Amino acid sequence: MRPVSRRPSPTALHPAPPKLLDEIVARRQTLRRSEQRVADTVLRAAEAVTRMSMAELAAAAAVSEPTVLRFCRQMGCDGFPELKLRLAQSLVSGVPYVHREIALGDNVEQVIEKVCGASVHAIEGVGKRLDRAALRQAIAALAKARRIECFGNGAASVLTFDAQQKFMRFGIPTIAYPDSHSQIAAAATLRAGDVALCFSHTGAVKDIVRCAELAAEGGATVITMTRTGSPLALAGHIHVPVDTAENTEIYAPMISRVAHMVVLDVLATGVALAFGPGVVAQLRKVKDSAAHLRIEPVTSRRRLS
């Protein structure tokens, strides 16, 4: 019997273009600074922008009208009307949680919806945009590392200690330092065979960029987890992109930290698989070593009144 020939669907031949809001998030770091202000204004108030004139958007972003027009063309639009049309289509196709910031006066229900929705949306977006080749290179470097040093300040310091917890369980000496002075000094000691794992949401933290530079000068492999096109991304050997839209001027990073942790889980899982079946015994040994620290469940425990 001859196999049935199936024509590819129109969707397969012509995949749907990315939603404009997601495209702005992905390409923001490649824009000029003035165009980034337009991008940030659109991300903050997408619905309002669909009702604005070009002059009103320029005023809201504190840029000139030609800058708005350049931004439109960077996004593949012929002009401002097409940008507004694509923006409206992006809004209709789904609730853009990632572009809805926490506002003063939000109640608990709104905070839950925005924070949880934004985290889910960000993780999905990061997963789709992850550079598979870079991930494979990072996993290979981490799996054969003589030691791993983790660098990140502020909110990113949480990521360094999470990385330490994950990779030291494989028997790889892994260190995270609590202050930038220690991090810079440690980076200067790294040599060939070592790995520097650098975290930053913005990729523009001077101390962490300096750590990456020092580690690279010593011959270590530098893996950066940060925004595409940022100074930190350019300072390393292997860049694992984590591109999320988040205003960190007022609130501490929330969405980006969750996205970084998920990507870190991907790396750690990849390293575990690279080690093969033998890693299971190692992980069990580490877990059992702390068994005496846990309180055993007591079914008949009396509740305090």
Does 16-94 match 127-289 in CATH topology? no
For the cut 50, the answer to whether the pLDDT of residue 16 exceeds it is no
For the cut 70, the answer to whether the pLDDT of residue 8 exceeds it is no
Question: From the centroid of its chain, how far is CA 68?
Answer: 27
**Nearest Cα to 142, choosing from 186, 187, 174?**
174
100 against 152, higher pLDDT: 152
What global pTM score does this model have?
0.70
64 against 96, higher pLDDT: 64
Tell me the pLDDT band of 28, cut-offs 50, 70 and 90. confident
CA angle 24, 25, 30 (to 5 degrees): 75
Mean pLDDT of 264-281: 91
| Average pLDDT score, the chain | 84
Three-class SS state of 302: coil
Q: Give the CATH class of 16-94.
A: mainly alpha
Distance CA 199, CA 227 (A): 10
Beta partners for 125?
none
Tell me the pLDDT band of 13, cut-offs 50, 70 and 90. very low
The domain 127-289: what is its CATH number?
3.40.50.10490
Return phi, psi of residue 241, to 5°. -70, 135
Name the residue ranges covered by the structural domains of the chain.
16-94, 127-289
Could you report the per-residue pLDDT of 160-195, keeping only the tens digit for each? 999 999 999 999 999 999 999 999 999 999 999 999
Three-class SS state of 199: strand
Backbone conformation region of residue 163, classed left if phi is above 0, alpha if psi is from -120 to 50, else beta: alpha
33 token code pair: 């600074």
H-state helical runs in the chain: 10-13, 20-27, 33-44, 46-49, 54-61, 65-74, 80-92, 108-129, 132-143, 157-167, 180-187, 206-217, 231-235, 255-275, 278-289
pLDDT score at 4: 39
Distance CA 116, CA 122 (A): 10
Mean pLDDT of 99-126: 76
pLDDT score at 202: 87
pLDDT score at 90: 81
